[in-house]
Structure 1
């Protein structure tokens, strides 16, 4: 069975973005980008909330990548090769290949997807990830913790939910970013 992995860049105080909705503090350097490339290479399907999809869909276009480092060009190819499911009741259409819209998050459909997938799945977006956590669907968390305190904003992890975790891997990057990879012991 494939694993569902919640992967995110977060501030030291646990936020995906600050109170103004900015996440500019989490722009990866080449070393961190290469780490994400390796992680994403193992993902067959990415599950996104609408806002996360709208942020990520830039990787479909080549026009802005001219002159960017090789690690970014590689990420674009990796991102494009994965299937994508966007959970949105308001998005009319998608602008990227290998992408479909689901109008609502259905835990049983995600369970079946995990059972039949040939590669791991990732989930991104705070609200959709919180739903997956609440339904016991998330098997692992991969959090890259940036050395910044933003003081508030969008929490990276769901409130009011206890999760028991087992550390699988840790890594420190030259910029002070720390990757923590945990298994969720209470996952189904």
Structure 2
């Protein structure tokens, strides 16, 4: 059985983007970006909601060719292109960059993928992750908290029907007051 991971940058007040989909507050420093690259290299399948797909696919296919691209930018772009992806959307007609489109029951498809063989999968996008969270499919949460209050936007967490008990397995501080906490779901 594969592990399903959910991890993103978020504000102290729990948002992954500010109103208007503003992500400017979550710009990673070099150390944090290098850490995220290491995390992403371990993923065998990315699961994206439409909005996160549009954000990622608008930049990373050619991120290594941008003026001033750092070695980490270059490696992140290559890893992003090479890693298989499933994009969950009922409004898109097609996707590219080593991705396939899925328009059916997202929770059933994620459960099917999770039951298969292979390495870890990462779910991304607030709505898609919320559906997986409510269904009890997430095995690990990686919360990278930035020292900012944004006052609204897309929340990292969703409303749940019952408690989910977690075990803290790792904590790490990064420059600029950013803190990463990793939790495993207690089953």
| TM-score, normalised via structure 2 length | 0.93
Which digits, 9 at most, give the CA deviation of each residue in 1:153-185, with x for residues without a partner?
211111244321110111000121111110112
- C-alpha contact 2:43 2:122 (8 A) present in aligned 1: yes
CA RMSD of aligned residues (A): 1.5
2:8 is the alignment partner of 1:8: yes
Distance in 2, Cα, partners of 1:71 & 1:80:
14
2:164 is the alignment partner of 1:183: no
> For 1:52-131, what aligned pairs fall within 5 Å after superposition?
52-57=52-57, 58-62=59-63, 65-94=66-95, 96-131=96-131
Per-residue deviation, 1:63? 7.0
Gaps of 5+ in 2: none
Distance in 2, Cα, partners of 1:92 & 1:112:
23
Q: Specify the alignment match of 1:43 in structure 2.
A: 43
Per-residue deviation, 1:64? 5.0
Partner-residue secondary structure (3-state), 2:164: coil
Q: Which runs of 4+ in 1 moved over 4 A?
A: none
Distance in 2, Cα, partners of 1:63 & 1:185:
39
Name the stretch that deviates more: 1-10 or 105-114: 105-114
Distance in 2, Cα, partners of 1:26 & 1:41:
20
Distance in 2, Cα, partners of 1:114 & 1:27:
31
| TM-score, normalised via structure 1 length | 0.92
Q: Specify the alignment match of 2:165 in structure 1.
A: 164
